[in-house]
Structure 1
């Protein structure tokens, strides 16, 4: 892809990982940028892009970028390949100048509704354990209403479990009251990364010091690195909670939450 630009031009880029499994590691080349939104939710203030951008399946990043490359050069967005080289995703040939000087730091985007911080003091505590895959310790799990061993699950084409459940079941992972605050621990006991995606609501990660991160609806869960997330069940409905590596979802990593 080639996108002609001018020096000192300011662009807004929305990066969407629409791959079914690939995790993208990206860098800006000849551009200076600020992250202004994650998964469609504006940040309180733009954050400078100082290193790599990691984008798991289903994640989105909104950037404001200034073209800093010289006229005649090629700026753009590059990705890390499997051999650790960097390859261009978007070439931006620079011709002319949008202005004689750079602009200042961009203003934040207007906040979306329902971005208030959840009250964790009375939050309901839940844990979703991920199991399965190669070299797994998964011994058995529920599938189609029956408890099956791992070999039986493999014969059914199912390799993964969320909270002891393989695929969808009539019983939700959690039944929540509208407006209820939830603190959910995602525990990855596999040897694979999983892009865990919640439909219907956004959540915030909880740091070790108790501080809350930006709102997201997809988080990259790494092996043996539990993640605590918090959200308010403010949207009535039956909502999927699943891995967005689509092969993982199709072979077991799909569950749901009921908000009523």
Structure 2
């Protein structure tokens, strides 16, 4: 079987992260993650953090989000995959490896950028490059959609799967300032199939024009960042189990105090 091409150039990704100088996206992800963890009635004694995360949870083990994770099976009660799955060559494999690192009834959580992120820039760049050069080159990583994420958790055999999202809309003077900030966030283009020679200046000029024409409000362009959140539990005999179909002992209509109306044939 032929090995599929790599999505991400890992050396370029690491270089981008090392050059990062602004924690805007990381701070949002951290705050939202801690807020979700605060709702869990559990004290985690051996947490694991995967990805380019700063100190989030005290005394947590911190590892890189490499294709093969440096983890031992059933060693942690919390595995947090932080701001890295959108660059993973194998997102399902990352979740499965994280799940294997969990003790029974351990919690897996992930936060990463979703498919609505930078949709305005993606559209503007694609149109500009097509007009100027007659072709397209990969510039923004393909990111997952929330409707598909529950299936990823189930494929990793995680119980009680939950997927949700938040969307942040930011404003910039122009597309150049946005692309400059992406480099500061460590989220510049690290795709393995990216263009390896300088892009024509006219492509970016045309992109800025298209962006301002189609995605501007009150004299500034709008940029969207979607954060996706996953949560699931390592299987355990102590977890609640769904009842088998047909085992109910009371009618829903009685609980709702309403009259049941049979469907027509």
TM-score by length of 1: 0.21
Taking CA–CA contacts closer than 8 Å with sequence separation of 6 or more, which of the two structures ends up with the larger relative contact order? 2
Structure 2-normalised TM-score? 0.21
- Structure exhibiting the larger radius of gyration computed from Cα positions: 2
Structure showing the higher strand proportion among its residues: 1
